[in-house]
Structure 1
Amino acid sequence: MPSPADRLSQFSESVIRGMTRLANSCGAINLSQGFPDFDPPEEVLCALEQATRGPYHQYAVTWGAPRFRQALAQKITRNTGLEVDPDQHLVVTCGSTEAMMVAMMTACNPGDKVIVFSPFYENYAADAILSGAEPIYVTLNAPDFGYLRDELVAAFEQKPKAIIVCNPSNPTGKVFTREELSEILDLATQHDAYVITDEPYEHIVYEPHVHTYACSLPGAFERVITCNSLSKTYSITGWRLGYVLASPEVIAQARKVHDFLTVGAAAPLQEAAVAGLELPDSYYEELQALYARKKELFLSYLRRTGLPFTEPQGAYYVMVDISSLGFPNDTEAAKWFARELGVAGVPGSSFFREPEHRFIRFHFAKKEETLIAAGERLLRLADSDWMQRSKR
């Protein structure tokens, strides 16, 4: 029997989805895979009901339904100040996951190098391998997860074809500043590389931090390939609606990659999502306030456990340092958290290139009652007698 492709031996199945399966099997509260347990906006649900009765059950235009692209272009223009042409600058994908794969395969030839910040969302390393590209890792240093300029300069001197920037970052919650993005763009320009940004948490940023769209910086649009998703902003992770935003020259090639990867995103869901894209600015203000409350509620429990953590600047993840609990590694700790505490997170080592085993990543995109239930379970960590009994 022939062997599968060699490149598949270089990465494993998703650790995040694996922890969701473990949570489901043992009845743990799932704070591993980042999806809400509350409904999308009512306007979007009503539009979905109408779309299922409309003439939208066959293929949409491969690169995105016209009404969806028009609404999306208008929203991006409001946010970035760029004049986005729905016919020239966009290709609609099956989530940001496909958008990233499209961007990588559009930008990189086999054998090219691509800079990846570590820790990173687990798909990025797999995207590089599947594209035939070689990752160059640049460390984001705890506790603030900033990078060292000298290390980034040295990475660019290896002549990469692209750099990937997740902003706000999954898993760390770091929000890259305008100054950092400008520095990255300057280095990319100097070395003639693309900047591929992944921005699904664009509207989940905590004061005083501000989200900067890299593509909106002076001279950036021709070099930046923006990947994004509607999943987090409208609480529709299962709809799998994302997009690539770039110059016409890049989009013309990205559409070819997308066409032969998935043909197109779901037509009725594109029609329904227009209602979300047309929501007023007040919706995004309320979304930020909602997640700020969820963050503070969940972190209030973490503080009471005594475990160190890094307060996120954006997104809805928190990296918790569990090294003081005496587990051999973070994977064993995460499994114990799910089975014994009833709270599932993701072992942090799955996000790091470095041999890092201090962290578990939890997310707080849940109803208040879910976060309270998880928090009460986590408080058992402060009870040394219970800990000793549970580890026997």
Structure 2
Amino acid sequence: METATEKLRLSQISPRIMQSEIRSMTVECDRLGGINLAQGVCDTEVPSAVVENAIKAIHDGHNIYTRLDGIAPLREAIARKLAHYNGIQADPDSEVLVTSGATGALYAACLALFDPGDEVVLFEPFYGYHVNTLLSLRIQPIAVPMAMHTWEIDFDVLRTAITPRTRAIIVNSPSNPCGKVFTRSELEQIAVLAEEHDLFILTDEIYEYFLFDGTKHISPASLPGMAERTITISGLSKTFSITGWRIGYLTANKRWLASIGYFHDLTYVCAPSPFQYGSAAGLVEMTDTFYNEMAVEYQAKRDLLCGALQDAGFTPSIPPGAYYVLADVSSVPGATAKEKARNLLASTGVAGVAGTAFFTGGRGENILRFCFAKRDADLQRACNLLRDYRA
């Protein structure tokens, strides 16, 4: 008996959503036993307080579902942190949602706020999960290119990108993949457009503590008049090196948060309970000194990697934030960035990811992204291998 094919098929959106090139390079790197600078796994030490309190929570029996918005100690710690660091006042009982990673926060927010056919503007180079989350929900991403290497925004182009179907602008600062940190002036100009066109601002601030050369982080929700229309997304994955724990959070006006929380519950139920306790302890016990020292440590990692890339004959764009470097690798053989990434991995044992994962319109074919959130010994070994590279 033949299998019917009319209804046994993939959805219309499935062919447009492929496994990310980042994950593909991770698989290839694992196959070859290389050093993975492709994926932002943040392979550094977890603070002991975070680990110990997660283990304690398991032994204490905190292994069942939590409230859909997360445990009270974590929500309260997030609210204090938002007030202290971000200049955002949030009620932990009605305006803070603990999520299954920042990606879970974005997904739930998009389900709650947007309809199929709506448009959301974001800046290019972009994080692929932002684009593919929108596409998976039949929301149209509209990419506004930033100037290559300087990552400056052309606000005339941004204004032109806004149409009657536009519902929001996504800001990612510090940015994955280019490390751009949006200035107060840029955020104020975006805020003017958001108010003029009555748009939401979705801001992904997961790298908010990874700041270099004296750069300062500014949360859009802290700007005058922006709190009600801003959905602030962040998490502990990068800061505490717990990317596999899936502890993110979102803060928004209570007018929006209840619906966002419902869709997060529907999709994920809750973030892992014992990991919430460990994360809460980390937020309580880590002082400003911890975050400042982390920034100094990562700036040294950045400088080490950028120096090795230059020695290899590549041209890195020095990032002021986050923990990625985009580098021009025109000298690496290959007709496409994907081929260049695989050829470099085969030649050096170091994995980067194709720049085309972060651009539209054929841009990024001579660019690779490298991650420097690695243990010192592994990063040093990768840098030594890159310095030995000869095209």
TM-score, normalization by structure 1: 0.95
Secondary structure of 1:117's aligned partner: strand
CA distance in 2, matches of 1:146, 1:11: 29
Runs of 4+ in 1 over 4 A off after TM superposition: none
Q: Amino acid of the residue matched to residue 84 of structure 1? A: A
Q: CA deviation at 1:220?
A: 0.6
- How far apart in 1 are the matches of 2:373 and 2:148? 23
The counterpart of 2:343, out of the listed 331, 336, 348, is 336
- Contact 2:314 2:327 (8 Å CA) reproduced: yes
> What secondary structure, in the 3-state scheme, does the structure 1 residue paired with 2:166 have?
coil
Q: Does 1:310 pair with 2:317? A: yes
What SS does structure 2 have at the residue aligned with 1:162?
strand
Corresponding residue for residue 241 of structure 1: 247
Identify the residue that residue 366 of structure 2 maps to in structure 1: 358
Correspondence for 2:293 among 286, 289, 295: 286
8 Å contact 1:145–1:174 — kept in the other structure? yes
Deviations 1:206-231 (A, max 9, x none): 12321111111111100110111110
Equivalent residue number for residue 90 of structure 2: 84
Are 2:210 and 1:204 aligned? yes
* Structure 1 position 111, deviation (Å): 1.1
Paired with 2:196 and 2:99, the residues of 1 have a C-alpha distance of 30
* Contact preservation (8 Å) 1:112, 1:161: yes
CA distance in 1, matches of 2:200, 2:44: 37
Q: CA offset at residue 326 of structure 1?
A: 3.9
Q: Equivalent residue of 1:274, what SS?
A: helix
Corresponding residue for residue 31 of structure 1: 37
1:125 paired with 2:135, answer no
In structure 2, what is the Cα distance between the partners aligned to 1:98 and 1:353? 24
Contact 2:87 2:219 in 1 (8 A): no
Aligned position for 2:384: 376
The equivalent residue for 2:25 is 19
On the 8 A contact 1:173/1:315 being kept in 2, the answer is yes
Inter-partner Cα distance in structure 1 for 2:93 and 2:342: 47
In structure 2, the partner of 1:115 is 121
Pair 1:221-2:216 in alignment = no
Superposition deviation, residue 159 in structure 1: 4.2
Aligned equivalents of 1:36, 1:123: Cα separation in 2? 17
Q: Distance in 1 between matches of 2:100 and 2:214?
A: 32
Q: Which consecutive residues of structure 2, in runs of 5 or more, have no partner in the other structure? A: none
Offset of 1:303 from its aligned partner?
Answer: 2.1
**Aligned residues: percent identity?**
36
CA deviation map 1:29-50 (0-9, x unaligned): 0001111222211111221221
Note the 1:147-186 alignment, pairs <5 A.
147-186=153-192
Residues 335-392 of structure 1: per-residue CA shift (max 9 Å, x gap): 11222210001101011112020100000001221111101111123x4xxx3xxxxx
Distance 1:265 1:135 in 2: 27
My pick for the range that moved more, 106-115 or 197-206, is: 106-115
Report the Cα distance in structure 1 between the residues aligned to 2:129 and 2:325, rounded to whole angstroms: 19
Name the counterpart of 2:265: 259
Return the offset for 1:158: 4.6
CA distance in 2 between counterparts of 1:340 and 1:308 reads 18
The match for 1:299 among 298, 303, 306 is: 306
How many residue pairs match? The answer is: 383
Gap runs ≥5 in structure 1? 388-392
Partners of 1:156 and 1:188 within 8 A in 2:
no
Instruction: Give the Cα separation in 2 of the matches to 1:131 and 1:186.
Output: 27
Structure 2 length as normaliser, TM-score? 0.95
**Matches of 1:371 and 1:252, distance apart in 2:** 43
Kept in 1, the 8 Å contact 2:54–2:276? The answer is no
Deviation at 1:134, TM superposition (A): 1.1
Separation in 2, partners of 1:317, 1:296: 11
2:80 partner letter = Q
**Paired residue secondary structure (1:324):** coil
Matching residue of 1:390: none
Alpha-carbon shift at residue 172 of structure 1 (Å): 0.5
CA distance in structure 1 between the partners assigned to 2:304 and 2:315 by the alignment = 16
Cα deviation digits, residues 178-224 of structure 1 (max 9, x gap): 11011111101100110101110000011232111111111110011
Matched residue of 1:52: which SS?
Answer: helix
Instruction: Give CA-to-partner distance per residue, 1:108-159, whole Å, 9 cap, x none.
Output: 1111111021111111111111222111110012111112111001012454
2:73 counterpart of 1:67: yes
Q: Is the 8 A contact 1:159 1:191 kept in 2?
A: no
Q: How does 1:132-151 map to 2 (within 5 A)?
A: 132-151=138-157
1:242-277, CA deviations, whole angstroms, 9 ceiling, x for partnerless residues?
011100001011011111111111111101111111
In structure 1, C-alpha distance between the alignment counterparts of 2:142 and 2:41, rounded to whole Å: 30
Deviation, structure 1 residue 295: 0.9
